[in-house]
Structure 1
Amino acid sequence: MTTILSNADSFQLEAAIAGNHADLFFLDAQAKGGLIAQEAGCSWTYIPTEQSGTIPFPSTPDGTSALDAISGFYQTHPVRNLGVWSLSPAETTDLDVMLLARGFQLGWQPCWMAIEIATLRSDFVAPNDLLIKPDNETLLHSLTALPYSGKDSCGNTNLQNSNPDQVQRFVALWQGKVAAQGLVVFGGGVAGIYNVGVVPEARGKGIGKAIVSAACLHAFQKGYHYATLNANNMGRPLYEQLGFKWINDGLTWWITDDRLSTRPPGPGQVALAEAVGKGNLSILDTLPAADLNVPLCNGMRLLELAAHCRQEASAEWLIAHGALCSVLDAWDMGWENRCIAMLSQEPAAANQLYGMHRYTLLHVAVERNDIALARLALSANPDLRLRDKIHGGTALNWAQHLHRHEIQELIQAHYSRH
């Protein structure tokens, strides 16, 4: 049985968060008729009915053998939603490079937060007719407007009924209807709070704070000292108002299609990508010749991988052996003078389209809120009428939507001069 955490520092809390998340993933797989496997110190899940899986917090000195075994498993077990979760920095050396080489894409960064429950704030306002109760029985699958109510949501299919001692769901009723839900998982020595969701018409009324508070107090009554959660940008201010504090950001990588079973990366591609990402020129020199401009299984080009991994020597090696370097590649490598020279020589390069969005250098600047990159792109007098493929927006549209006010002003000033 896990010891309940007390007098914890941030490192202990982070480890507890990892343990609690792993418990959630394992319990969820069991509740959905899935399986849990283990190899070389790494565990992972597979849920056939969802074609999904999770590799939680891999920690092994031999990451290559573990990841090869795991990749081999998923190549023979159809999966369309596979996630790897990690603390930051990752406990497995070069985990990022090894995953990208094996077909994973970079994911979002979880925002780990925790609170010592004794310090929970209660100075918030909620509707007088709000009723919050522990409820592991009510079926919520039909409430499509309630976040995390779907059967494929992690922790929302029979999980609380299968493990009532470790899992407790809370339901909030307002004006006689279900308005919100939240889930508590006890594990890793803490109470992990998940699936906090409020229906749209009930938001902004303190109901989210109330259900989180109820979950925390329930955990405190069971003897737990800390509650933890993973916040998104919208939820973080709410949790901070209750007294939660940021601990650290995590890391994730994802596969969201059938690439592992239909077009998995071969050993040669994996070896090439790993050598680039690790900056191992001696290995690059020994590998068979290959087209260095062909995207990897995850869609990244080798120069993008080198830039992501901050491997300048690898980038120079790739260019010397035939890889095409775009202005964005050069920018991401920190080669500002080279970018200026490239655009001076070929101004039309400012209109090159990138990624699945098929958007321009200026779109990228807006997305990143990179003022210097925006100035660079505008210096080449780009075609400001170009729209991205996904949203159909110009760079100015993006700036307006994302509230990038300084870049918006730069673009509008450019319009007025031209």
Structure 2
Amino acid sequence: MVKECERVQTSWFRARAEALGGEAWDDGALTWTDGPDGLNLMFPGELDTSAVRRGVQEALARGRPLVGAWLSTGVDPSALRECGFDRGWPIRWMAASLAAVAADEGDVDDRIELQTDTLDYDGEYADYRDQLALARREPQVAWYAAAYARPASSDRPRRFAGRAWSFYDGGPNGVAGVFDMEVWPRFRRRGLGTGLLRTVCSAARRAGAAQAVLNATDEGRLLYGTCGFTPIGEGITWWLHLR
């Protein structure tokens, strides 16, 4: 199941890059994506120092300040060390049946909305709106949900409180991914995280997915566990800062 997590994460990074005018390519056994998360090396089965160096040179040529590498725990990271990468944060995979997580037909949190465009981002975050282009692709493979502190029916102004994505590329095992889920600190402990998770999982289930996987932060693990996700394995990230 961990291999399926890695496949879905790679497909998500590739789809975001392509939707936003970026690029994904293979260099021998290495898969690179250049998208809104910067330049990333996605779950190689083995590493070759010369191939990693080519990726670093590509990042320099593209003006990318950060290069990430996502690894399974069994992959020897020596080539990354030789190229100046530092060990980063762990990847904690969790999985759940969508039948257990998705909201029932009549069980809707009216503070959560599925959207294909938004005006919620401005200032230094304005570029995030561009990423919703992925939610408008046909056939739809990604769903974006926004959380608000009050429902649309409220007579008081709503406040943008968080977001989440789900992604399902129709893979053979029916596995969707949950990504970039966050509730802003001042709005936590109000059930918005649960509402976001159930909403994006419901959208993926309607598209045909049967399971969901995600990479949990320390803060998120308790919420995901309460909603039916269980730990299934780990990985590790490595990072190279070029500035």
- Shorter chain as denominator, the TM-score bin is 0.7 to 0.9
1:104 to 85, 109, 118: 85
Give the Å deviation of 1:75: 4.2
Return the alpha-carbon distance in structure 1 between the equivalents of residues 193 and 94 of structure 2.
Answer: 16
Return the alpha-carbon distance in structure 2 between the equivalents of residues 150 and 252 of structure 1.
Answer: 27
| Inter-CA distance 209–70: structure 2 relative to 1 (3 Å threshold) | same
> What do residues 148-197 of structure 1 show as CA deviations (whole Å, max 9, x unaligned)?
x66369x9353223466111111223323332211011134411111112
Structure with the higher fraction of residues in helix conformation: 1
Return the alpha-carbon distance in structure 2 between the equivalents of residues 36 and 63 of structure 1.
Answer: 19
Bigger RCO of structures 1 and 2 (CA < 8 A, at least 6 apart): 2
Aligned pairs for 1:240-389 within 5 A: 240-258=225-243
Q: For the pair shown, which has the larger CA radius of gyration, 1 or 2?
A: 1
Return the alpha-carbon distance in structure 1 between the equivalents of residues 40 and 203 of structure 2.
Answer: 28
1:191 to 151, 157, 176: 176
- Cα contact 1:56–1:85 (8 A) shared by 2: yes
Look up the match of 2:16: 28
Q: Does 1:179 align with 2:191?
A: no
- Cα contact 1:51–1:79 (8 A) shared by 2: no
| Inter-CA distance 16–198: structure 2 relative to 1 (3 Å threshold) | same
Q: How many residues align?
A: 230
Return the alpha-carbon distance in structure 1 between the equivalents of residues 44 and 165 of structure 2.
Answer: 25
Structure 1 runs not aligned, ≥5 long = 1-12, 259-418
- Cα contact 1:121–1:241 (8 A) shared by 2: no
Return the alpha-carbon distance in structure 1 between the equivalents of residues 23 and 63 of structure 2.
Answer: 14
- Cα contact 1:115–1:244 (8 A) shared by 2: yes
| Inter-CA distance 222–33: structure 2 relative to 1 (3 Å threshold) | closer
- Cα contact 2:49–2:80 (8 A) shared by 1: no
| Inter-CA distance 200–72: structure 2 relative to 1 (3 Å threshold) | closer
Return the alpha-carbon distance in structure 1 between the equivalents of residues 147 and 183 of structure 2.
Answer: 9
| 3-state secondary structure, aligned to 2:89 | coil
Give the Å deviation of 1:236: 0.6
Identity of aligned residues (%): 26
What amino acid does structure 2 have at the position aligned with 1:31? A
Give the Å deviation of 1:74: 3.0
Q: Runs of 4+ in structure 1 displaced over 6 angstroms? A: none
Structure with the higher fraction of residues in strand conformation: 2
Look up the match of 1:119: 100
| Inter-CA distance 113–105: structure 2 relative to 1 (3 Å threshold) | same
Structure 2 runs not aligned, ≥5 long = 151-157
| 3-state secondary structure, aligned to 2:127 | coil
| Inter-CA distance 225–179: structure 2 relative to 1 (3 Å threshold) | same
What amino acid does structure 1 have at the position aligned with 2:10? A
| 3-state secondary structure, aligned to 1:156 | helix
Return the alpha-carbon distance in structure 1 between the equivalents of residues 231 and 188 of structure 2.
Answer: 23
> What do residues 30-84 of structure 1 show as CA deviations (whole Å, max 9, x unaligned)?
233222222112121235xx79311111125x62443243234334332211101
| Inter-CA distance 139–34: structure 2 relative to 1 (3 Å threshold) | same
- Cα contact 1:51–1:80 (8 A) shared by 2: no
**Could you say what the CA RMSD is over the residues aligned between the two structures, in angstroms?**
2.8
Return the alpha-carbon distance in structure 2 between the equivalents of residues 244 and 18 of structure 1.
Answer: 17
Look up the match of 2:155: none
Look up the match of 2:64: 79
